[in-house]
Each structure stands twice: as C-alpha cells, then as structure tokens.
Amino acid sequence: MLVVMKNDATEVQVQAVIREIESWGFRGIPMPGAQRIAVCIVGNTGAVDDSRLLALDGVKETIPVTKPYKLVSRETHPQSTIIAIGDIKIGGEEPVIMAGPCAVESEEQALTIAHLVKQYGAQIFRGGAFKPRTSPYSFQGLGEEGLKILKKVRSKTGLLIVSEATDHINIEIVEQYGDIIQIGARNMQNYSLLRRAGRASKPILLKRGFAATIGELLMSAEYIMSEGNTQVILCERGIRTFADNTRSTLDLSAIPSIKEVSHLPVVVDPSHAAGRREYVIPLSKGAIAVGADGLLVEVHHDPSHALSDGMQSLYPKQFEKLMREIESIRR
C-alpha cells in the first residue's frame, strides 16, 4: 500500500505515518515525488486496514499496490528516476555511455583505453577488477590492485568508474574505489549480496540473469531498494535461448517492458549479448532506438591479446563509429 501525503505535509507528519506503520510490524519507506511525498508500506503479506492511517494529519489518501515489487513500481513512483552522479544523469534525456575493457589488465592498458573512449564521448569507464569466470583457470582479475588502477584512471581522465562486486567481501572494496557497483548476471539472485548492495552508499547497476524474467529482475531490484538504496540501474545483457548464433539473445523488448512498469533507468550491455564485436554496433543502435538510458560497451585497444572477452570487444575506431551512429539515432 502507498500512503500519499498532502502537498503541505510536514516532516513531522511523515514520521508519524512511518511510526504508525512500524507499530504494526511493517516498514514505511518515504518516496519523494515531484508534487508530494508518499510512504510505501513493505513487509505486509496481505491487505492493510488503512483507517488509522487516513485519520493521521497530513495524509491525503491510500492506494493499494498490485505488484509484488513495490519500491521499483511506477504505482508507487510514477516519475522516472534519474540517478545523478556529479554532472552525469542516468535516466535523463541523454543516453549515458559506459565503455572500457572487460577486465583491467594493467595500468598502461586501462589508461590507454580510458583516454580513447573519453576522446570519443564515453562518460563512464567500465573495467572489471574481480572477474567471475566460467572456468576456474581463466583470468580472475587483479582484485584490489585493479581497483587502484581504476582510481588512477578517474583521477587522470575524469571518467566515472563502474566495476563489478562478486561477494560480501569485495563489495566493500569496490564501494571504496568505484562510483557505481555492478552486480553481474550470475549474482542477480544472490539475495544476501543484494541486501548488502542495498546498504551501499553508491548506485548499483543490476544485470539481468541468464534465464531471469522481467519480474524476477524487478524483484531483485526490490531487494536492494528495500534496504534503503534507491539508486538502482537495471541492465539488459541478453538471456539464454535455443539460438546459438550469438552468445546470448538480446531482449530489446525488455526495455519498453520494464519502463512500462518501473521507474528505474535501464541500460543495455550489447557486448555480452552478442559475444561477437561485429554485432555490437547494430545491437547498440537498436537499444538506443527503443529507449535505453545508456550502453555498457566493451572496448579494447588490442582485443586479440585481451585476457577476457577479446572477441566481443570493439576496436577504438569501431567505438568511434558507434558513438557517431547512436548520436544520429538519439537526435
């Protein structure tokens, strides 16, 4: 249920509503809107008697929420969320481009790629320091040393940093160094990690799992938001189907489907969906055309020698071409 406050409701009145909700054993989470504040009731498994709430000062009305996900739903937050990190706004009018290598391999490699992607228009540098790989013998990332390199990338280029956390230990380290914490597809339903991400001070980029429905993705986002972190960015990165012409099948319909029911921004990772660099540009153009709020693209200056996912990494000149073509679509 959503408790909608009057336009002139005071903070004292909002807190009184929250205390009343907590007296029932539930939680009340304030949801600021463009016109007024609403309080979302979470933790209840059935209908709530709203008569006591309607009697409180400052309460305008109560609205039942039909979706199992409450905090991520447009029913509770009709306006689209914009996540601002400095001058970068994810979910605004301009798509935000996050570009860089799959994995940080060295300081020279990271800085070389960072300068190139910034030159061509990227605003955020992506790079993995902790890499969950299918094979235990594959390169697993540089760990905290990789994050120190990413910190240097930010200081020398001004690019923001997004990097993946894979467990309860390294999420604290990524939170210390990064600007956005990525939760990968393999961990989309790692609920204890999601709860920890919900207590983080940084925005969370949550990737859709290999075989997850839209509803399951939104429920995973609900885990994060229920712990207090409202800065969640959803990411479509392709799902597993019977098709084998690409690494995964990019579900472009997920973008309008999510935006219809959720206020959270949605970005697309065409690199992991395609698995082949020649498909990355057309998939990126499709994503922008259907309303994606940004892209997460892999770029490497020497893909043939990349330690991770070289086949799906764009050459810098291909990235430059991508930026020109998506700009024409955006206009």
Over residues 304-315, the pLDDT tens digits come to 999 988 999 999
Residues 154 and 291 in one domain: yes
Q: How far apart are CA 175 and CA 86, in angstroms?
A: 16
Residue 71 lies in a domain: no
Stated length of the chain: 331
Residues 151 and 289 in one domain: yes
Q: 138: pLDDT confidence band, cut at 50, 70 and 90?
A: confident
Say what the pTM is: 0.89
Over residues 59-80, the pLDDT tens digits come to 999 988 878 888 999 988 889 9
Residues of the domain holding 11: 2-63
CATH number at residue 166: 3.20.20.70
Over residues 152-209, the pLDDT tens digits come to 999 999 999 999 999 999 999 999 999 999 999 999 999 999 999 999 999 999 999 9
The domain total for the chain is 2
Residues 223 and 305 in one domain: yes
Residue 112 lies in a domain: yes
Which are the contacts of 132, defined by CB distance < 8 A and separation ≥ 6? 164, 166, 184, 186, 187
What is the pLDDT at residue 197?
98
What is the pLDDT at residue 312?
95
Percent of the chain with pLDDT over 70: 100
Percent of the chain with pLDDT over 90: 80
Residues 44 and 89 in one domain: no
Residues 234 and 163 in one domain: yes
Residue 151 lies in a domain: yes
CATH number at residue 28: 3.30.70.1140
Over residues 51-64, the pLDDT tens digits come to 989 999 999 999 88
Residues 46 and 121 in one domain: no
Residue 75 lies in a domain: no
Q: Answer yes or no: are the C-beta atoms of 251 and 240 closer than 8 Å.
A: no
What value does the mean pLDDT take over residues 258-270?
A: 97
Q: Which of 33, 63, 93 is the last residue of a domain?
A: 63
Residues 41 and 154 in one domain: no
CA 148 to chain centre: 22
